[in-house]
């Protein structure tokens, strides 16, 4: 426990202040390496390390991508050669075109007050009045393609079901169903990995509140990978992050937490609709902008 929770603050701070910019290329050889560790212990570590990393995360001096590995291919149910093809197809896109399209969506979200999401086991309202959205088109994530904002902290009500599985400290969690009242999760269930889900929600008070709501818009990514960086960009999906909101003017909010956990909902299914102030913006996986 001492080793897990001991963070050499002076080393972390020195590294962050020393670097002019950060390029992170993740090449995992085992995405389940933390699966035998109690999620509660990992959340305790997150509480300690998050404040030290905030200056880097809140800056504009970083970019993140993944390098295709056997472990990543295995999680996605693909061969390594197929993953490589998929990877380059999803990252080598026309980012200028993506920017133009997402700037249009950004403007719609900027001017909106109420998001209403209807779909499988889902009827959710999200208050976004006064929030500014952030279009993402290859400056921080590779691959990219989303437009996000932070909901009004107490302005999320209803229920939502997330079709895509995700990982929580190496534990697979799938079939997540959340119920919100006045911005907080009041009921949570999962078809698989429910214990890990509940441990994540117990991290701190802010873990039960949404720090992000986003629309995925990279239509070269058309399937789940069990990799958040890719899955949250799938064209025609939405995702929500439990926990910390970003602090920038665009996309930012007030919610504080040691976690920022993205979960993806598939809006490509029949009957799925997202409206902003009553106007259809996303319907059965198609952006109507």
Predicted local distance difference test score (pLDDT) of residue 2: 61
Q: Return the pLDDT at 17.
A: 80
User: Structure tokens of 121?
Assistant: 């086991």
Strand, coil or helix: 181:
strand
Give pLDDT tens digits for 182-228: 999 999 999 999 999 999 999 999 999 999 999 999 999 999 999 99
b/e per residue 28-65 (b: at least 16 CB within 10 A): eeebeebeeeebeebbebbeeebebeeebeeeeebbeb
- Please give the C-alpha separations between residue 257 and each of 7, 82, 204, in angstroms, as whole numbers: 18, 37, 6
Phi, then psi, of 177 in degrees rounded to 5: -130, 120
pLDDT at 3: 64
Q: Torsions phi, psi of 6, nearest 5?
A: -85, 115
Q: Which residue has the tokens 């006045």?
A: 182
**Domain range list for the chain:** 2-287
Q: Are 75 and 226 in contact (CB under 8 A)?
A: yes
Specify the pLDDT at position 1: 61
Report pLDDT for 251: 97
Biggest CA–CA distance in the chain, Å, is 53
Q: Along the chain (289 residues), what's the average pLDDT of each consecutive run of 10 residues?
A: 68 79 91 77 75 72 93 96 97 96 98 98 99 96 98 99 94 97 99 96 96 98 96 98 94 94 98 99 97
């Amino acid at each position: 426990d001492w080793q897990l929770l001991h963070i050499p603050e002076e080393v972390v701070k020195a590294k962050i202040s020393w670097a002019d910019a950060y390029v992170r290329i993740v090449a995992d050889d085992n995405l389940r390496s933390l699966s035998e560790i109690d999620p509660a212990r990992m959340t305790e570590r997150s509480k300690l390390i998050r404040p030290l990393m905030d200056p880097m995360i809140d800056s504009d001096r970083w970019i993140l991508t993944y390098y295709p590995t056997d472990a990543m291919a295995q999680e996605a149910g693909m061969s390594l050669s197929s993953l490589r093809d998929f990877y380059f197809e999803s990252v080598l896109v026309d980012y200028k075109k993506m920017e133009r399209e997402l700037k249009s969506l950004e403007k719609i979200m900027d001017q909106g007050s109420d998001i209403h999401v209807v779909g499988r086991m889902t009827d959710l309202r999200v208050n976004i009045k006064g929030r500014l959205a952030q279009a993402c088109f290859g400056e921080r994530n590779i691959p990219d393609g989303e437009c996000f904002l932070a909901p009004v902290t107490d302005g999320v009500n209803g229920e939502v079901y997330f079709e895509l599985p995700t990982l929580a400290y190496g534990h697979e969690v799938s079939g997540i169903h959340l119920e919100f009242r006045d911005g907080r999760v009041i009921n949570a269930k999962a078809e698989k990995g429910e214990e890990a889900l509940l441990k994540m929600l117990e991290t701190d008070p802010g873990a039960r509140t949404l720090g992000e709501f986003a629309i995925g818009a990279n239509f070269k990514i058309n399937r789940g990978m069990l990799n958040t960086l890719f899955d949250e960009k799938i064209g025609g999906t939405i995702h929500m992050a439990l926990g910390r909101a970003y602090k920038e003017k665009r996309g930012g909010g007030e919610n504080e937490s040691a976690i920022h956990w993205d979960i993806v909902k598939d809006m490509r299914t029949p009957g799925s609709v997202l409206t902003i102030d009553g106007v259809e913006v996303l319907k059965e996986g198609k952006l109507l902008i």
